[in-house]
């Protein structure tokens, strides 16, 4: 969306200023290197083999999101080294990059926020120091590789904090805030212009968002963007329409209550859902409707996944190896 301010002088028009408000449309593609190394191939809408980033760009996407694990079990995938490879691909494709620190050796989500094995015995003060040094060293390596992330996510789906049990918010909100602050401050040292994201699951759950962000604010935390996951088909006890409506109400509340920009950093639907395109399009529409232009964008979570580790909420058809209509929602 562009907003142009003009001044009419006589019969002429003087252009004073033009402001472009870019809406980000992207995808988390963290599985991509592992899938390609396993022999997976991808085909575009016309049935021709093509690289995933080109296919995503052809569907209107302009950014990627990449998760980082500290010491992954296989020693490589989702490690910093793996992330740098994919970030370089994104840069070559002219796409922006979001870095998503899980601060774990494996998945971090509302039910799992376990510390990396090598950090398990650290005192709380040493744990804060480790979060700071790990974040700074990781981002410095990215910087040295020529990558400048536009957004940096400090923790993943931190509905009850991170780095359990020390940073479990329900037990000690201050500890969670201080651990977050350690990562945030380190990230700002390396990339002062990057936007810092705090990310929670269940965009429809306003009470949880208020509890976490009130707690962070009370303990001196600062952030730029509130990120949310939205999987409308899995919202308990409500229709997908009710889930997206509650998500919009929550995002508006977050923007007004904290003055934050907001973003849906994860959205997904079953690949064979007959309403997939409609649902994703509605989530995009809702984020665009956030008041005062505070809604920054939407990222699909692992759209390229098909017949992969049992995950069925991607946006690729496992029979044709082509994108489903869900990706067409990003074409506007």
Tens digits of residue pLDDT in 189-209: 999 999 999 999 999 999 999
Cα atoms found within 13 Å of the Cα of residue 308, Cβ hemisphere only: 26
In the three-class reduction of DSSP (H, G, I as helix; E, B as strand; rest coil), residue 114 is classed as strand
Q: Considering all CA atoms of the chain, what is the largest pairwise distance in Å, rounded to the nearest integer? A: 74
The span from the CA of 226 to the CA of 63, in Å, is 17
pLDDT at 1 over 70: no
Active site residue 275: no
Identified catalytic residue from 157, 261, 302, 304? 157
Q: What are phi and psi of 117, to 5 degrees?
A: -55, -40
Fold of 23-330: TIM Barrel (3.20.20)
pLDDT range class, residue 5, cuts 50, 70, 90: very low
pLDDT at 57 over 90: yes
The span from the CA of 236 to the CA of 314, in Å, is 20
Give 310: exposed, middle or buried? Use CB within 10 Å, 0-12, 13-18, 19+.
exposed
The span from the CA of 221 to the CA of 154, in Å, is 12
pLDDT at 4: 35
pLDDT at 332: 78
Task: Tell me if 247 sits within 8 A of 286, measured CB to CB.
Answer: yes
Among residues 305, 321, 323, 324, the alpha carbon closest in space to that of 313 is found at: 305
Neighbours of 71 (CB within 10 A): 13
- Strand residue runs (E) in 169-282: 195-200, 225-230, 261-267
pLDDT at 179: 98
pLDDT at 33 over 70: yes
Mean pLDDT score of the chain, rounded to an integer?
A: 94
pLDDT at 261 over 80: yes
pLDDT at 318 over 70: yes
Q: What is the mean pLDDT of residues 161-165?
A: 98
Neighbours of 117 (CB within 10 A): 13
Give 118: exposed, middle or buried? Use CB within 10 Å, 0-12, 13-18, 19+.
exposed
Task: Tell me if 306 sits within 8 A of 35, measured CB to CB.
Answer: no
pLDDT digits (tens, 9 = 90+) for 295-311: 999 999 999 999 999 99
In the three-class reduction of DSSP (H, G, I as helix; E, B as strand; rest coil), residue 116 is classed as coil
Could you tell me which residues are beta bridge partners of residue 66? 99
Q: Where do we find the tokens 């009470």?
A: 207
Identified catalytic residue from 261, 266, 302, 304? 266
Cα atoms found within 13 Å of the Cα of residue 329, Cβ hemisphere only: 28
pLDDT at 315 over 50: yes
pLDDT at 22: 86
Q: Tokens for 176, please give them.
A: 């969670």
The span from the CA of 51 to the CA of 34, in Å, is 14
Rg of the chain over CA atoms, in angstroms? 20
| Domain boundaries of the chain, sorted by first residue | 23-330
Peptide bond into 165 cis (omega under 30): yes
Active site residue 157: yes
Q: What is the mean pLDDT of residues 48-58?
A: 98
- Sequence-distant (6+) residues with CB within 8 A of 160 are 110, 113, 168, 169, 170
The span from the CA of 204 to the CA of 242, in Å, is 9
The span from the CA of 111 to the CA of 203, in Å, is 16
pLDDT at 21: 52
pLDDT at 18 over 70: no
Percentage, residues of the chain above pLDDT 90: 93
pLDDT range class, residue 19, cuts 50, 70, 90: very low
Q: Tokens for 298, please give them.
A: 């939407």
pLDDT digits (tens, 9 = 90+) for 66-124: 999 999 999 999 999 999 999 999 999 999 999 999 999 999 999 999 999 999 999 99
Torsion over CA: 32, 37, 43, 49 (sign): positive
pLDDT at 214 over 80: yes
């Amino acid at each position: 969306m562009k907003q142009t301010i003009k001044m009419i002088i006589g019969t002429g028009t003087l252009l004073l200023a033009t402001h472009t408000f870019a809406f980000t449309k992207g995808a988390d593609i963290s599985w991509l290197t592992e899938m390609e190394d396993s022999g997976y191939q991808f085909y575009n809408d016309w049935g021709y083999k093509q690289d995933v980033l080109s296919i995503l760009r052809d569907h209107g996407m302009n950014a990627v999101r990449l998760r980082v694990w500290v010491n992954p079990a296989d020693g490589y995938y989702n490690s910093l080294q793996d992330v740098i490879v994919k970030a370089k691909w994104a840069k070559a494709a002219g796409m922006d990059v979001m870095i998503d620190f899980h601060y774990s050796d494996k998945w971090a989500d509302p039910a799992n926020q376990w510390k990396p094995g090598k950090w398990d015995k650290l005192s709380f003060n040493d744990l804060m120091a480790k979060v700071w040094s790990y974040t700074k060293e990781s981002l410095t390596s990215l910087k040295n590789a020529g990558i400048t992330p536009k957004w940096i996510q400090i923790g993943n789906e931190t509905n009850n904090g991170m780095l359990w049990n020390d940073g479990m918010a329900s037990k000690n909100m201050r500890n969670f805030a201080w651990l977050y602050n350690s990562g945030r401050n380190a990230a700002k040292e390396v990339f002062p212009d990057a936007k810092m994201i705090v990310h929670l699951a269940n965009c429809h759950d306003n009470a949880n968002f208020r509890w976490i962000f009130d707690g962070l604010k009370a303990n001196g935390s600062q952030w730029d963007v509130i990120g949310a996951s939205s999987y409308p088909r899995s919202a308990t006890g409500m229709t997908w329409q009710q889930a997206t409506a509650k998500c919009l109400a929550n995002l508006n509340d977050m923007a007004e209550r904290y003055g934050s920009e907001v973003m849906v950093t994860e959205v997904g639907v079953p690949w064979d859902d007959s309403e997939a395109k409609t649902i994703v399009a509605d989530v995009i529409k809702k984020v665009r409707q956030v008041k005062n232009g505070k809604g920054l964008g939407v990222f699909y979570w692992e759209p390229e996944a098909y017949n992969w580790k049992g995950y069925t909420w991607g946006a690729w058809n496992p029979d044709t190896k082509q994108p489903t209509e869900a990706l067409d929602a990003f074409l506007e």
